[in-house]
Amino acid sequence: MGTRSAIGYKLSDGSIRAVYCHWDGYPDHQLPILRKHYNTLDLVKALIKPGSMSSLRTRNTWTNGSSMLNSDGSHMRDKEGYIISENDREPQPLYHHERGDKDCGSTDSHFPLNEWFHRHDCEHLYVFDPSTEEWEHTAEGE
């Protein structure tokens, strides 16, 4: 079962533009990736422009093959620790549009955070604040 999250940024009117992310939405996983790879507003906008995603960072594609194995039978891993598979790619988001899904775009939200989770079926929300250039995390129920 996925830990559902949303990733986005604050708009000038205080609302949020965000996209859904299905897997690994817990803070220990998402925040280090967001802080390292998406630390400017332009990078965050580029991240969410393609729409909803299955995973924030993976080598997987929707059609990658079997995992590659070392001579001892363990999974081969890249320098970031991701398992290497046949036909995979460098670590990056895995977007739903890549498998042909439609209507995967970002959503603008003009209602309180406590309603955001219910309306978007997420457990965690990560919002980049352009004024501080920092990521804010809110969990459902906070």
Name the residue range of residue 52's domain.
Answer: 5-57+91-139
Judge whether 72 lies within some domain.
Answer: no
Mean pLDDT over 35-57 rounds to: 96
Judge whether 83 lies within some domain.
Answer: no
The pLDDT of residue 116 is 65
What is the dihedral angle through the alpha carbons of 122, 124, 128, 134, rounded to the nearest 10 degrees?
180
Judge whether 71 lies within some domain.
Answer: no
pTM of the entire structure?
0.88
The pLDDT of residue 140 is 81
Query: Residue for token digits 């899904």?
Result: 101
Judge whether 17 lies within some domain.
Answer: yes
Judge whether 128 lies within some domain.
Answer: yes
What distances in angstroms separate CA 14 from CA 23, 70, 86, one per listed residue? Answer: 27, 50, 44
How many structural domains comprise the chain?
1
The pLDDT of residue 114 is 59
Q: Are 84 and 78 in contact (CB under 8 A)?
A: yes
Judge whether 77 lies within some domain.
Answer: no
Strands 53-58 and 92-95 turn out to be antiparallel
Judge whether 23 lies within some domain.
Answer: yes
Judge whether 63 lies within some domain.
Answer: no
